[in-house]
Chains A and B, each alone.
Chain A
């Protein structure tokens, strides 16, 4: 179990929590900033599509974690068995990243620069510690 969890921690669904945070910010901002109901509905539907993609990816990650737990418990597990799971994790991650980028750009294509900037304000640089 420990090995599987560390494996997932180090190489699993990286970036998912950031994407969830980005989508949550988008929803909040769209709800408060977009007065036109039809546009608001359209934009929220795009966010919802992106959320579905993320949920699906997380679900796939759960299955992979179970496979890794089974492998981790077996002393006779072979490198090729790990490699097969790793290859699938890589392919899943790349597909998820591509789809997430497409969702974000579909959303950006429907929002003005000002709306986007209000939804995702640039983070202020932290002052240097002396």
Chain B
């Protein structure tokens, strides 16, 4: 094979690679945990409307799901901010143990308050539903959320 025909073959090969590459890279990025959580809450809202027979109670329950979503937004923002400060503190050789403890204390206080609010929402949701309705709501598919949460928590 002459040098020019080898070059043509190489260029041809390169073109093939360039043609194939974008197709190979065009897959959608994995949704973030917050995106998965929001989609799951949309499914819960739909299930609430389908399963709770009393329209007034269904509307109230949808309001609780909205409050849950608010907590998801807050929690996600707080977590991202906390992790950024944690990385920055760790990169600072002069940061003290007390600096870390203060960071954790502040983060925990807000997290614990969210935890209390979640428990209140869950108890209100139980009070609005019958045993049967609660069981029907529990059937909302959560495989995607389970995978995302487990990956994020290092499980």
Say whether chain B's binding surface is mostly helix, strand, loop, or mixed: helix
**B135 partner residues in chain A, CB cutoff 8 A:** 73, 75
Chain A residues with CB below 8 A from B137, complex form: 2
Q: Please name 4 further chain A to chain B contacts, defined as beta carbons within 8 Å, in addition to the given A5-B146, A9-B72, A75-B131, sorted by A numbering.
A: A14-B79, A72-B138, A79-B120, A97-B100
Which listed residue (A82, A93, A104) contacts B108, Cβ 8 A? A93
Contact partners of B37 in chain A: CB under 8 A: 6, 9
Binding site for B on A (CB under 8 A): 1-3, 5-18, 20-22, 54, 58, 61-62, 65, 72-73, 75-77, 79, 82-83, 86, 89-90, 93-94, 97-98, 101-102, 104-105, 108, 113, 116-117, 120-123
What band does the interface of chain B fall in when counting residues whose beta carbon is under 8 Å from A? 35 or more
B interface, CB within 8 angstroms of A: 33, 37, 40-41, 44, 68, 71-72, 75, 79, 82-84, 86-88, 90-93, 97, 100-101, 104, 107-108, 111-112, 114-116, 118-120, 122-123, 126, 129-131, 134-135, 137-138, 140, 142, 145-146, 148-149, 152-155
- The smallest C-beta distance from A74 to any residue of chain B, in angstroms, reads 8
Determine if A79 and B119 form an interchain contact, defined as CB atoms under 8 angstroms apart.
yes
A2 in complex: contacting residue of B86, B119, B142, CB < 8 Å: B142
CB-CB under 8 A for A9 and B75, given A22-B90, A61-B155: yes
Contact A94 B93 (CB under 8 A): no
Does the CB pair A1–B138 fall under 8 Å?
A: yes
The contact of A79 among B75, B123, B145, B146, by CB within 8 Å, is B123
- Docked pose: A128 CA to B119 CA in angstroms: 39
In the assembled complex, how far is the CB of residue B85 from the closest CB belonging to chain A, in whole angstroms? 10
What chain A residues lie within 8 Å of B79 (beta carbons)? 14-15
Q: How far apart are the CA atoms of A87 and B111 in the complex, in Å?
A: 12
Q: Give complex CA distance A2, B130 in Å.
A: 18
* B138 adjacent to A2 (CB under 8 Å): yes
The residue in chain B whose Cβ has the minimal distance to the Cβ of A71 is B122
**Given the known A-B contacts A10-B72, A14-B79, are A90 and B33 also in contact in the complex, defined by CB atoms under 8 Å?**
no
Whether B153 and A61, one on each chain, are in contact in the complex, defined by CB atoms closer than 8 angstroms, is yes
- A15-B83, A20-B154 known; A90 and B145 CB under 8 Å? no
